[in-house]
Copies of this chain bind each other. A is one copy, B any other.
């Protein structure tokens, strides 16, 4: 989430009613998630376990719940509840805008693009040339779509992240102020869902093909020329490199890194980073050939048990 213009540190601190450490005129440019944060951005952290990671990230301003030593060239926003105050920022800079019609007047859509009936296009959406958006597709605010993109019926682009803080009084939702970016030559299947970033982008790179019912969660990055088959689910903040093949009903936990040209066979469940160039299978995922060997040994168990007797 980039702010519309740079804001002085003091202005931001006043906005969320927090203390600050640093030059009051320090320029703040936006806010983002820690794995993709950039210079000028705010990142928030509310658990001591992650203080170091946040303080050493590329973030220029750390919204934190303890007055720690401020790293040189950076600034702190000190709050008793960084999660709540990050939501205040999102609420201020990216307020929800109610739709007044099916296709927002603020949307920029190239003339050559076809929108079938029942399509919803939110505010500030951009869609390039020669796209085909099939019926009953929903495209939330701020989504950016390139050229030659086909989206099949019932797909939902840009719904909120599934991201909550567990408080005694109930789950507190992290407001999603990010967006979805879809590059050229992408195809997205029927009833597929791609959630927006929390403060950054969920990114689908050029030439990637996504099948029906696929779920791609907030802030995940999908590389170029990936194939993602039906009913696969990719949790938030993953990085999938180029030319990865993900077969049907595969599931990936959040924050994983999958190397270039990895192949995940159907129904595989991934809970750890995977090197590229290899084929994986099973839950939890292992190299397929190792898994196949295991399966052979399991089939020999009756024989082993007999021998032992």
Which listed residue (B117, B120, B217, B267) contacts A251, Cβ 8 A? B267
Contact of A135 with B249 in the complex, beta carbons under 8 Å = no
* Residue from the list B135, B136, B269, B299 in contact with A294, Cβ < 8 A: B299
Total residues of chain A contacting the partner, CB 8 A: 75
Which of B99, B156, B267, B308 interacts with A308 by CB under 8 Å?
B308
Q: B residues within 8 A CB of A213?
A: 191, 193, 213, 215, 231, 233
Q: Among the listed B189, B233, B294, B295, which residue makes an inter-chain contact with A231, where contact means beta carbons less than 8 Å apart?
A: B233
Q: Is the CB of B117 within 8 A of A101?
A: yes
Q: Is A209 an interface residue (CB 8 A)?
A: yes
Q: Is the CB of A308 within 8 A of B298?
A: no
- When the two chains form their complex, are residues A253 and B266 in contact, meaning their CB atoms are under 8 A apart? yes
| Cβ 8 A contact of A170, one of B154, B173, B225, B233 | B225
Q: Is A49 an interface residue, CB under 8 A from the partner? A: no
Contacting residues, chain B, for A116 (C-beta < 8 A): 98-99, 120
Residue among B159, B185, B207, B267 making CB contact with A152, cutoff 8 Å: B159
A307 within 8 A of B: yes
- Whether A212 contacts B162 in the complex (CB less than 8 A), given A98-B114, A118-B136, comes out as yes
Asked if A227 lies at the interface with its beta carbon under 8 angstroms from chain B, I say: yes
Q: Is A304 positioned at the interface, with any CB of B under 8 Å from its CB? A: yes
0/1 per residue, A188-202, Cβ < 8 Å to B? 011101010000000
| CB of A31 closer than 8 Å to a CB of B | no
Residues in B neighbouring A164, C-beta threshold 8 A: 209, 227
- Tell me, yes or no, whether A140 is within 8 Å of chain B by CB: yes
Residues of B within 8 A of A170 (CB): 185, 206-207, 225
How far apart are A107's CB and chain B's nearest CB, in angstroms? 13
Whether B135 pairs with A212 at a CB distance below 8 angstroms is: no
**Cα distance, A298 to B304, chains bound together (Å):** 11
CB atoms of B159 and A189 under 8 A apart: yes
Show 9 A/B contacts (Cβ-Cβ < 8 Å), sorted by A.
Answer: A99-B117, A102-B118, A117-B120, A118-B120, A118-B138, A136-B136, A138-B190, A195-B212, A266-B271
* A binding-site residues for B, Cβ under 8 Å: 96, 98-99, 101-102, 114, 116-118, 120, 132, 134-136, 138, 140, 150, 152-156, 159-160, 162, 164, 170-171, 173, 185, 187, 189-191, 193, 195, 206-207, 209, 211-213, 215, 217, 225, 227, 229-231, 233, 235, 248-249, 251, 253, 266-267, 269, 271, 282-284, 293-295, 297-302, 304-305, 307-308
